[in-house]
């Protein structure tokens, strides 16, 4: 937690101005990193935390910096402290409805193939693959969530990774080893597991592999095969698996998404009377007064990221 500084001087009590004081409780013992001095929380009012030196002496002046909660100040005969929740930060999100269909008339059903040579089953499989890619793009790139009730029926749409992750959106000017290390360090520093999957656009993938090419060269004899396919990147904080993601095309060729899979999950609506709403295929949906038969593909899904700060986005500054 950062504060606006502690004035110090002759007083044994001072205050720290904070953006959010909800992390603190009365009698928390704090370490002021700038001076390595222990103080405790005397009282809390709005965004101001009043602190007092542990031994009643003067508080040393400190500039803006970090403070850490390292314990609680308890009398030898004390009452019970009020419990404080320390749950992860959840960004609210909606689910998105996906509703696609494939039609076929009775004449087409009577024939062995479409005029284009594709069977009905192949058309259904093609639509399933298209929906899969749509899911992936939504989970990765949707930047907003909301609910619109202006029409006859309400519609909702949910955020993806790009819209939820804000803490570790780190820009780079050139893809250098120090810049790459600093990005991964920032991601691991926020907690989570000791493994990340890093998905790269094609341009950034080439730049990251160039880090190794710059250190080695082929000399002496012509190489029949030459190239780099970096799969693992090790740091003291953890192991990062690196993948090129073909969905990261267009403007995302130069971006990278670092994902902690232990802190991300798929969400979906509970089953209705027709069955699963995670994904379902309804076959032979007949249309009255028509020779058409329809196959419906339906899902009502989204992603949940309970702590967005353990993920990261590496992008041009």
Tokens (6 digits) for 136: 């992936």
> What average pLDDT does this structure show over 269-295?
82
Write down the H helix ranges in the chain.
Answer: 106-110, 120-141, 161-164, 177-189, 202-213
Which residue do the tokens 């027709």 mark?
A: 274
Which pLDDT band, with edges at 50, 70 and 90, does 10 fall under? very low
Region 125-132: mean pLDDT is: 90
CB 73 within 8 A of CB 40: yes
Among candidates 15, 4, 10, which has minimal Cα distance to 43?
Answer: 15
Buried residues in 91-104 as b, exposed as e (16+ CB within 10 A): eebbbbbeeeebeb
Render the burial of 21-52: b for 16+ CB within 10 Å, e for the rest.
beebbebbbbbbebbebbbbbbebeeeebbbb
Identify the pLDDT of residue 23: 77
- Looking at per-residue confidence, does 153 or 169 come out higher? 169
What pLDDT band is residue 299 in, cutting at 50, 70 and 90?
Answer: very high
pLDDT band at 108 (very low <50, low <70, confident <90, very high): low
- The pLDDT mean for the chain works out to 83
**Residues facing residue 219 across a β-bridge:** none
- pLDDT tens-digit profile of 39-97? 888 888 777 788 888 887 888 776 677 888 899 888 777 667 666 655 556 667 899 99
> Who contacts 284 (Cβ-Cβ below 8 Å, separation ≥6)?
293, 295
How far is residue 109's CA from residue 291's CA, in Å, rounded to a whole number? 10
Domains and CATH numbers, the chain: 2-72 (2.40.30.20), 88-317 (no CATH)
DSSP label at residue 60 = P
Within a 10 A sphere around the Cβ of 85, how many other Cβ atoms?
5
Confidence of residue 3 (pLDDT cuts 50, 70, 90): very low
Q: Above pLDDT 70, what percent of the chain?
A: 79
pLDDT score, position 151 = 83
Phi/psi of residue 131, nearest 5 degrees: -65, -40
- How many Cα atoms are found within 13 Å in the side-chain-facing hemisphere of 228? 17
d(CA 62, CA 8): 7
Q: Provide the Cα torsion 230, 236, 238, 239; round to 10°.
A: 20
Q: Is the pLDDT confidence value at 169 over 90?
A: yes
């Amino acid at each position: 937690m950062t504060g606006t500084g502690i004035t110090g001087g002759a007083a044994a009590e001072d205050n720290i101005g904070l953006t959010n004081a909800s992390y603190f409780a009365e009698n928390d013992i704090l370490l002021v990193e700038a001076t390595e001095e222990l103080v405790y929380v005397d009282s809390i009012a709005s965004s101001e935390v009043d602190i007092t030196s542990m031994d009643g002496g003067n508080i040393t002046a400190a500039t803006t910096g970090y403070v850490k909660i390292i314990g609680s100040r308890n009398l030898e005969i004390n009452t019970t402290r009020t419990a404080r929740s320390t749950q992860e930060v959840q960004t609210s999100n909606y689910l998105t409805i996906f509703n696609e269909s494939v039609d076929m008339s009775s004449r087409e059903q009577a024939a062995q193939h479409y005029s284009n040579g594709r069977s009905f089953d192949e058309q259904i499989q093609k639509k399933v693959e298209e929906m899969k890619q749509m899911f992936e793009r939504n989970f990765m790139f949707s930047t907003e969530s909301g609910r619109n009730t202006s029409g006859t029926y309400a519609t909702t749409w949910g955020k993806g990774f790009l819209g939820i992750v804000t803490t570790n959106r780190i820009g780079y000017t050139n893809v250098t080893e120090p810049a790459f290390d600093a990005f991964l360090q920032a991601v691991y520093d926020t907690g989570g597991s000791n493994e990340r999957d890093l998905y790269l656009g094609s341009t950034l993938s080439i730049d990251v592999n160039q880090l190794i090419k710059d250190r080695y060269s082929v000399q002496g004899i012509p190489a029949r095969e030459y190239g780099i396919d970096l799969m693992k990147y090790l740091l003291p904080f953890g192991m990062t698996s690196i993948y090129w993601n073909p969905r990261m095309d267009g403007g995302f060729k130069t971006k990278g998404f670092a994902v902690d899979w232990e802190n991300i999950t798929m969400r979906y609506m509970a089953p209705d009377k027709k069955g699963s709403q995670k994904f379902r295929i309804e076959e032979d949906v007949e249309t009255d007064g028509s020779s058409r038969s329809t196959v419906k593909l339906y899902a009502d899904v989204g992603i949940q990221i309970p702590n967005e700060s353990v993920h990261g986005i590496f992008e041009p500054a």
